[in-house]
Structure 1
């Protein structure tokens, strides 16, 4: 397969499970491929951060201008002028970031404030286990070291032979850490429907994943179920629920 196309499909969140395994293999064995991946990944992050800061600075400047403007003589004219300026900034911002990124900037802030990766509570990894080359161990080592692409490939492979609640949950976690919220949500839903040990954790992370893609109502639905469950992050979920209402 064309490596450039593979990179393009990765950043478009369109890799199939087979392509994800190939992608992880190339990252390990093809230095040039990994170098290009790292470059494009870092470039994407830098551009996103720079544009978000520029837009935020513009809108803050407009807000401060409105507050300082003398409005006694012609309040409507002043309001209209600043409203027009803010609208132009908004349109420019939409061109930079896309509607979802701008309209959900507050939700992304909430996501980043509350997200903390769930620890590995399933597979104990200790020193002196070099002889253990099991697929499960490799998957959790990749997870703990934040090698998300490799973790996704390994957990996907593991899921084919060991489709357990834990495998689904940690595969979902890996997708979420890798910025692929939609795929994470689908797996969190599987875990929630199983109603097992990881159900409350899946509700919490599904809520955060929905915030990441600006789906407020679905996030509220997950948080409501989590508060009712009461086994995990009840107070934190209640506060986030109130903030979103």
Structure 2
């Protein structure tokens, strides 16, 4: 089998037993083949690396260890340059993505549904009222059911915290446009959770890529030292 075919099957982890024997023999006796295998192994390691510092170090190692030799054919030298360029471009793209996260990425990195502090759930009770069912749905991730039950409960009882938890469930369902008016309404109340709504409203605006309103709310959180003030300061610094 040709060297390039063996190398391709090696990279795909598809060598047969006999091909593996042939591959290992080449690796032991053919210096040029060994260097090309090492090069492709480095490419694979760099592509899978998650951390920017490690990427830079590995790229540096690659450049030091795999400088093309003068005896190599021009075709092979060009192939190495193309591959090295691909690595560099991929790395730069990764770095730029980290330094300029999108609004969606910032939302995802900062949003967690607020915990149930209103109605602690006692497990094992067979008979459950609607409020218990609503918060069980919320805690277990059945957000569609939670939204429906919180809506019904708010219509009956007019408790402001139902607006807050319904909005959280909607955010989890990626329905920020529906969550925003609920959070605004909740902010007008004197509910014990109303201060938290400022943070979640800022995140909701981020979700719909409205950075202007998100920024105003985050600045208010920082200035007033409200809930999540330190997180708001860090978040604000990432999209200014």
**Taking structure 1 as the reference length, what is the TM-score of the superposition?**
0.56
Conserved 8 A contact 1:107-1:211: yes
> Which protein, 1 or 2, shows the higher relative CO under an 8 Å CA cutoff with sep ≥ 6?
1
Which SS does the other structure have where 2:149 is aligned?
helix
Query: Given the alignment of the two structures, is residue 134 of structure 1 paired with residue 114 of structure 2, yes or no?
Result: no
Deviation at 1:105, TM superposition (A): 6.5
- Aligned counterparts of 1:154 and 1:128: Cα–Cα separation in 2: 21
> Any unmatched runs of 5+ in structure 2?
1-85, 93-99
Corresponding position of 1:16: none
C-alpha separation in 1, matches of 2:194 and 2:233: 17
The alignment status of 1:227 with 2:209, answered yes or no, reads no
Aligned residues: 148
Alignment root-mean-square deviation, CA = 2.3
Bigger Rg over Cα:
2
**1:218 equivalenced with 2:208 (yes/no):** no
Aligned partners of 1:180 and 1:105: how far apart in 2?
21
Partner of 2:234: 239
For 1:106 and 1:182, locate their aligned partners in 2 and report how far apart those are by CA, in whole Å: 18
Change (3 A) 1:207 1:154: same
Deviation at 1:226, TM superposition (A): 1.6
| TM-score normalised according to structure 2 size | 0.57
Q: 2:163 aligned with 1:168, yes or no?
A: yes
Q: Does 1:121 align with 2:117?
A: yes
Distance in 1 between residues matched to 2:191 and 2:213, nearest whole Å: 21
1:96-155, Cα deviation, whole Å (9 max, x unpaired): xxxxxxxx9711111111111211000010123222x21111110110011011111111
The 8 Å contact of residues 114 and 168 in structure 2, kept in 1 or not, is answered as: yes
User: CA shift at 1:210, angstroms?
Assistant: 0.9
Question: 3-state SS of the aligned residue for 1:197?
Answer: coil
Contact kept? 2:167, 2:178, Cα under 8 Å:
yes
Equivalent pair of 1:200/1:229 in contact (CA under 8 Å): no
Partner Cα separation in structure 2 for residue 219 and residue 198 of structure 1: 19
1:196 deviates by: 3.2
Task: Report Cα offsets for 1:151-172 as digits up to 9, x if no partner.
Answer: 1111111111112121110011
Matches within 5 A, 1:68-107: 106-107=102-103
Alpha-carbon separation, structure 2, partners of 1:230 and 1:196: 18
Unpaired stretches in structure 1, ≥5 consecutive residues: 1-60, 68-103
Residues 1:165 and 1:228: Cα distance change in structure 2 (over 3 Å): farther
Residues in 2 aligned to 1:168 and 1:203: alpha-carbon distance in whole angstroms: 13
CA 242–105 in structure 1, closer or farther in 2 if over 3 Å, else same: closer
Alpha-carbon distance in 1 for matches of 2:157, 2:221: 27
Corresponding residue SS for 1:130 = coil
Displacement of 1:240 after TM fit?
1.1
Deviation beyond 4 Å, 4+ runs, structure 1: none
Rounded to whole Å, the distance in 2 between the matches of 1:125 and 1:244 is 38
